[in-house]
A and B are shown apart, each in its own frame.
Chain A
Amino acid sequence: KQEVTQIPAALSVPEGENLVLNCSFTDSAIYNLQWFRQDPGKGLTSLLLIQSSQREQTSGRLNASLDKSSGRSTLYIAASQPGDSATYLCALQGGSEKLVFGKGTKLTVNP
């Protein structure tokens, strides 16, 4: 059974810092991996989707990488801002049409 782990569960950084969020998974046979952002009391917003054949995707200050052999993905946020404060979730699709989610990392960026 695929398991997705996100460490740490919470992270607090000062504004302007570059940071990395981690996502690890136990089964490397995946179709894709997706990073989401969730604000308190809201739904999920898709940030980046990395297909199995890709190694990274970039959108603005965000860069996501995928290393299937080591079972890891990272989300890099450059020059963090207070508006980046949210919970970040990774989810991956394995051998069926199902997504498996990690429990998320709650990020706080302090002014």
Chain B
Amino acid sequence: NAGVTQTPKFQVLKTGQSMTLQCAQDMNHEYMSWYRQDPGMGLRLIHYSVGAGITDQGEVPNGYNVSRSTTEDFPLRLLSAAPSQTSVYFCASSPRGTSPLTEQFFGPGTRLTVL
């Protein structure tokens, strides 16, 4: 198994551009989520999904869209990039989609810079 994969590893955008961060897992996990990690702020939940076709907002959802059309993929879309979205983005997955959640598996991250 490849586990949780994220592409790209690095990305530089200009303000106003849009892009999609890709996340895929091959473990048939129900639960997938996106976090951003900023110095001094820790990891904050952006959006999450408890199964295909189901998504919900986390702590910091503004400026981001998600969809979950398959169990394997959970892309994160930046609609109009802003410098405040400069961050490291992590995708995670977990076997169960219902509480209590089980062990979380993280991808390697995407480092995004918005100029």
Chain A residues at the B interface, C-beta cutoff of 8 Å: 31-32, 34, 36, 42-46, 49, 51-52, 89, 91, 93, 96-104
Contacts and interface: CB of A to CB of B under 8 A. Distances in A.
Contacts of A45: 106
B40 A98 contact: no
Range of interface residues on chain B?
20 to 34
14 contacts: A31-B99, A31-B100, A36-B106, A43-B4, A43-B107, A44-B92, A44-B104, A46-B103, A49-B102, A52-B100, A97-B50, A98-B59, A101-B44, A103-B42
A103 B41 contact: yes
The prevalent SS among residues of A at the interface is strand
A67 B102 CA distance: 19
Nearest to B44: A101
A95 to B, nearest CB: 8
